[in-house]
Structure formats: C-alpha cells, structure tokens
Amino acid sequence: MFREKIKLAIGEQNLRVNKVATECGIVATSLSSYLNGQRGLKYDQLEKLIGYLHLALVPKRNFRFQSEFMEKQEEEREAKIAARRGV
C-alpha cells in the first residue's frame, strides 16, 4: 500500500525514477525494483524517499505490523520455549 503511494507521488510530481533515486542516494534499479514489488528498501532509504517526496509515514490507529516471516519466527520461538519447559 505504501509502495503505491510512493509511485503515485512520483507520478503526480512528474518525476523520473532515475532522478528520485539519485537525489535519495538509492541505486536506480533498486528503486525501480521496489516500485515494481520485486524487493524492499532499507529503512534509511525509505526515510530519504519519503522526505524527498514530501510524504509522511503515519501509522494507523491500532496498527500491528504483520508478516509471514515474523509470524513463523515467533511460532518457532514459542515452540522452543515450550520444548524447554517440557510442554
């Protein structure tokens, strides 16, 4: 969803992805891949991008970050704890 807002802002401001990437210190192919959903960006890169595009990152009320990777890690951690306790 945020990726789409970044794409929209780039389009609305009539910016070229290469220029945005250069101004934000991001490799152009990395930004392009991010915008196409093929990869992520580091937090500091996103911060620069958000600032450059004059956007704001405002979490929704009761926001809870979810990802399958993190959920799997949490399940594995809980299983290890349960195994140690003999449950």
Asked whether 28 and 19 are in contact (CB, 8 A), the reply is no
Domain of residue 48 covers: 2-85
User: Angle between the 43-52 and 17-24 helix axes, to the nearest 10 degrees?
Assistant: 120
The CATH number of the domain where 63 resides is what?
A: 1.10.260.40
Place of tokens 């003999």: 86
- pLDDT tens, 69-87? 667 778 888 888 888 887 6
How far apart, in whole angstroms, are the C-alpha atoms of residue 33 and residue 57? Answer: 21
Asked whether 30 and 41 are in contact (CB, 8 A), the reply is yes
- pLDDT tens, 50-61? 999 999 877 777
Domain count of the fold of the chain: 1
| Percentage of the chain modeled with pLDDT above 90 | 60
Q: What are phi and psi of 74, to 5 degrees?
A: -65, -40
| pLDDT of 53 | 96
